[in-house]
Every structure is written in C-alpha cells, then in structure tokens.
Amino acid sequence: MLGKFQKSELRIEIDAPASVIGDSLLLTSNLRQWLMPQQLSSGLPERLESGLTFASWSGPVAIAHHVQVASDNCLRSLLSQGIDGYHEWVWGDGWVQSRLEGISLLPLNLGQTLSLQRLRSFVIIKVRMAA
C-alpha cells in the first residue's frame, strides 16, 4: 500500500441520547444520508452487523470495510484498498468518539473531522424532529 501511516482520534459532544447516535452510525439508511458525498455499496442490510463486508467510495477512491464489531455502543471496521487500517466509533449519551488509523494517501484527519461534523448536524436534526 502506498501512502503514509496516519492516526487520528477525535471526540465530540452531541446533545443526543446514545440510541440516536447509534442509529445514525448503524442504520444504513441513516449512514447514506450523513456520509454524503461518500457512497456506499448497494444491497446492504438495514443495520450494519458483525461480519459484514461492503465498500464505500470517496470520489474515485474505493475503501473496503469489514465490520468486526457492531454493538449498541461500538462500531469497528477493518479497512483495505484506499485505507489499510481500521476505523472505530464509540458513543454514549451526549458524545461520540472516532478513532482512525491506517496507511493511505488520503488526508485521514481532515476526512474524519468532516465526517464528525456531518454526523453531529445529522443527529441534531434527528433530535429536533423527534421533539
């Protein structure tokens, strides 16, 4: 794999219950909404589950994801192709943390920061709509 080893850990506060944050990360219909413009494979199940393998695309760069853990407060995937490494999400009431590590030509910290901002906006809208 060409690229540079990169490691990034970010944690943000989101005024939302853990269940809303988790549904935003684990339900594929929600993922498709807030991950845009990133695209996901077609034919995914309604909810991500351990053992699932799928692809995402950031422009022309494909990233393969193999879900190792998909639980009520954690999502961890091994990554290959555009990023060789892993991405782990952990969350609770009022917070979410993302840890990304791998070898890639992509600027991982920038992508991770933008993803967290999009997730926060999406979750806040979900919470307001439910109120």
Q: Per-residue pLDDT tens for 65-95?
A: 999 999 999 999 999 999 999 999 999 999 9
- Write the CATH number for 63: 3.30.530.20
Least confident of 21-30, 54-63, 90-99: 54-63
Residue 93 counted as domain residue = yes
Rounded to an integer, what distance in angstroms lies between the CA atom of residue 104 and that of residue 31?
22
Close Cβ partners of 110 (under 8 Å, ≥ 6 residues apart): none
Number of domains composing the chain: 1
- Determine the pLDDT at residue 1: 66
Q: Per-residue pLDDT tens for 118-127?
A: 999 999 999 9
User: Average pLDDT over the chain, rounded to whole?
Assistant: 95
Across residues 106-114, what is the average pLDDT?
91
Across residues 21-48, what is the average pLDDT?
95
- Determine the pLDDT at residue 81: 95
- Determine the pLDDT at residue 19: 97
CA-closest candidate to residue 63, choices 30, 103, 118, 98:
103
Rounded to an integer, what distance in angstroms lies between the CA atom of residue 83 and that of residue 100?
10
Residue 1 counted as domain residue = no
Q: Could you tell me the residue range of the domain that residue 49 belongs to?
A: 7-130
